[in-house]
Amino acid sequence: MALLPIISLPDPRLRLVSEPVAEVDADVRRLMDDMLETMYDAPGIGLAAIQVAVPRRVVVLDTAKKDDPPEPIFLANPEIVWASDVLSVYEEGCLSIPEYYEEVERPDRVRVRFLDRAGKQQEIEADGLLATAIQHEIDHLNGVLFIDHISRLKRERVIRKFSKVARRLGPGDRPEA
């Protein structure tokens, strides 16, 4: 396994729509493993392949509490097939927008269909933090960032801030907010 570089705002690749995975083969499993190691190292609870500059519909998640054993979830080609009308608010952050957090309202429960690490089609229903994390990561696959769910003023402010930092840093450097 290998740690992968995480791209940050304002990198335009974060706005790309990721391509579906034809099959979960050894290369996709290696990507999933590398993404999981990268996510744990960051540390985070979710990572989409586009965040490591790979425009494929692959997500890894682990919302286990800090002192609990890891519970990684691997999703290829995830799609939300149902979302509750009941909404909940969570303070979200993003490994591609380091050190910035904002409250975001999303459906409280979702049902998601995906291919697992073995390539088998699965469907799970998630609520709470897991539902929020799944929606956040699927947004990434569609070129959407969590800041797209906040007010225009706040969004423009954070984009300006990260753009200014990126201009000061050289290519490949990760901005810190």
Q: List active site positions.
A: 137
Within the chain, what is the greatest distance between any pair of CA atoms?
45
E strand map for the chain: 46-48, 58-61, 73-83, 87-94, 97-107, 109-115, 121-127
DSSP letter for each residue of 126-177: EEHHHHHHHHHHHHHHTT--GGGGS-HHHHHHHHHHHHHHHHHSPTTPPP--
Q: In whole angstroms, what separates CA 171 from the centre of its chain?
A: 22
- Hey, is 50 helix, strand or coil? helix
- Cβ-in-10-Å burial (0-12, 13-18, 19+) of 143 comes to middle
